[in-house]
Chains A and B, each alone.
Chain A
Amino acid sequence: MNTKSENRLAFENEVMSNLDSMYRYALHLVRNQEDAGDLVQETCARSLKAADKFKRGTNARAWLFAIMRNIFFNQHRAKSKGEIPSDWTDEVESGDQRFTGSVWPQPFEMFLRDMMREDIDKAMAELSIDFRSVVLLCDVEGFSYADTAKILEIPVGTVRSRLHRARASLQKMLSQWFNEGLEANES
């Protein structure tokens, strides 16, 4: 017999439906898959302790991200002197299957996609963690400027300016992909 409350079930649904997003953000923070998995687990465990207080209609997603960020920074402060590991590029999840745009014919498309992803990972790694954070939260996860500001505990204007500068840097680093006729077959 299921004894879970409706709120609890709604909360579990929020956790599971946001798992991909949480994992991506964790991966961005810790830069290796094993630690990212641990961070997601810890975030879920912590959030479950407060699950009874969860009310449907609240922004659970932003709340989960804020919990994760706080756990990461608390662990990071405890473990290190503030340095961020630099091997993120090699550890970024390579299982992306969402690149659905049919730009190039197979298998050449696959080859180019992998090359492009490598360059994107390198370009992201060259951004500071502050800039990467806003790209991940606003662009990849679709948070509004206001929600991103709450998660990162910074003003909305700072979110906006960091995002604009980060996008400009990424565009500059990746523009070669769009200057060499590789997208000629794009519909």
Chain B
Amino acid sequence: MAMNSFEWADATTVEQAAGLLAESTEQRPVIAKAGGIDLLDLMKEGILAPARLVNLKTIHGLDEIDTENGLTLGALVTLDRIDKDPRIRSRYVALSDAAAHAATPQVRNAATIAGNLLQRPRCWYFRHDHFHGEGADEMESRGADQNQHHAILDNDKNAMVHASTPATALVAYDASVELAGRANGSRVVKLSDFFLPPEMQRAHDSGIESGEVMTRVTIPPLNARAKAAYHKQTERESYDWPICDVAVVLTMEGQTVQNASIVMGWVAPTPRRASESERLLIGNRLTDDLARQAAHAAVADATPLSKNGYKVPVLEAVVRRTILAAAVAG
């Protein structure tokens, strides 16, 4: 596959980038480029055909990591830096591990956190140009029959899952994103409210608006006694997309759970909190049995499709294992 010709604009300020992006129309799409990883894939596969790319990498000051008050990641911070930064690893290990297990070393060197959060679904129907072209109408009138990698929760309308795995950890840490526009200044949105269930026909899977640029990702300060763990369950150990991933943040008083945040990725259209599991843990002494009950609760609402029933027991095992791993984390 090959790409069409397109214009390239190096932005020097967020305002300039936002202005250029606001010029986007259906006929002349203008698309932001950070690391360019997912963008290049989509262009090569013929899913995206931008008239103009706005390069954000030329904007200064968007690649900083600040740990003064919680954690602030500039939009252009790469996954590799999140993995390797000792400050992040010591305080936000679930995020470090999520970054470390995303993609491949080559991709992590180039991929940015903003690009990762805004990437499109990996659904093999979505990634095949046929289902955007000649086969689009047929696709509209039916679901994904080959749904082995699709959602097992909240999947009645749309079963594609959001692709970002760092998102799973970020939602568990209650992260927000900062979006800067040209006219209305910037706004901050909780990541848990930001994502939208992916759809074939929509241009993005989040609440970002035309003319907005994601500038920062922020995590509020963490309780000093918080412990966390992250697990991405794949079929291969070498680079792979997950069956599911789970991030757990616990605040413990001795063996008793004071607070719990459990988030599951790749099992629902967007990262999903295991609220009932959290409720079961909070205020109780964490035992193997309690972890088992909490994991069971996490999949109680599962409505597996024709070919993804296997994800239910896998998710249950991974939730249980990750809760127990968080409890003994350093």
* A and B are partners in one complex rather than unrelated chains: no
